[in-house]
């Protein structure tokens, strides 16, 4: 009888622990979604403002300086690593995807090719890395019409944009996109 009581108590502890871990994971997913939405909304608002008031050249500068500032501010605020990355980055020093992000971006492209809308694609995973165990979250950044001014097919870009890209980003890979494609991801990484 004592063994049965002990076994039931042990199962209850295991179940309570699993439930607590599940709740913690749900909380991380919810917070990561909030962060990704905030990053995307702030980026888009600044981009639209620059395009409307100053044109595409100022929007290039906005992306050059404001995108890193937006993600950096979220990283400082949360204590998590927040970034915007792509398989075809404009600035490979800041926008190059790590191995996990590359795998996720490849999967996002396949999901989109099967008909899933880019704006709804996200992915979460708890991963073990040499430095520890981390919760990872990725939210697709869809290509919208306003993105095409600087990220569309190179032959369709305004000459002024092409010239500025050649100066600021001589190794630019971030052109050739079409509406609805996945440009990149908002990536969130936190200890687990």
Three-class DSSP category at 171: coil
**Average confidence score pLDDT of the chain:** 89
Q: What pTM did the predictor assign?
A: 0.85
- What confidence tier does 104 reach under pLDDT thresholds 50, 70, 90? very high
Flag whether pLDDT at 13 surpasses 50.
no
pLDDT of residue 14: 52
Proportion of the chain above pLDDT 90, given as a percent = 70
Three-class DSSP category at 170: coil
- What confidence tier does 94 reach under pLDDT thresholds 50, 70, 90? confident
CA dist 87 and 184 (Å) reads 7
Proportion of the chain above pLDDT 70, given as a percent = 89
pLDDT of residue 42: 94
Flag whether pLDDT at 88 surpasses 90.
yes
CA dist 63 and 90 (Å) reads 10
Flag whether pLDDT at 119 surpasses 70.
yes
- What confidence tier does 15 reach under pLDDT thresholds 50, 70, 90? very low
* Structure-model confidence comparison of residues 109 and 3, the more confident one: 109
pLDDT of residue 56: 82
pLDDT of residue 96: 92
Burial of 75 (0-12, 13-18, 19+ CB in 10 A): middle
Q: How many domains does the chain have?
A: 1
Flag whether pLDDT at 1 surpasses 80.
no
Burial 105-141 (b: 16+ CB within 10 A, else e): beebbebbeeeeebeebbbbeeeeeeeeebbbbbbbb
- What confidence tier does 5 reach under pLDDT thresholds 50, 70, 90? low
Domain that holds residue 102: 2-191
Q: Are 169 and 65 in contact (CB under 8 A)?
A: no
């Amino acid at each position: 009888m004592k063994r049965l009581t002990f076994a039931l108590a042990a199962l209850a502890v295991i179940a309570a622990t699993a439930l607590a871990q599940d709740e913690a994971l749900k909380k991380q997913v919810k917070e990561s979604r909030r962060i990704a939405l905030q990053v995307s909304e702030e980026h888009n608002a600044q981009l639209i403002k620059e395009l409307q008031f100053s044109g595409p050249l100022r929007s290039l500068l906005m992306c050059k300086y404001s995108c890193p500032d937006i993600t950096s501010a979220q990283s400082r605020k949360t204590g998590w690593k927040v970034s915007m990355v792509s398989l075809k980055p404009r600035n490979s020093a800041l926008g190059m995807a790590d191995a996990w992000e590359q795998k996720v971006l490849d999967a996002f492209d396949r999901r989109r090719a099967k008909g899933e809308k880019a704006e709804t694609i996200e992915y979460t995973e708890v991963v073990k890395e040499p430095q520890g165990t981390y919760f990872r979250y990725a939210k697709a950044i869809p290509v919208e019409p306003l993105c095409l001014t600087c990220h569309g097919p190179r032959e369709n870009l305004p000459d002024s944009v092409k010239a500025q890209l050649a100066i600021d980003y001589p190794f630019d890979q971030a052109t050739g996109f079409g509406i609805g494609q996945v440009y990149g991801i908002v990536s969130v990484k936190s200890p687990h």
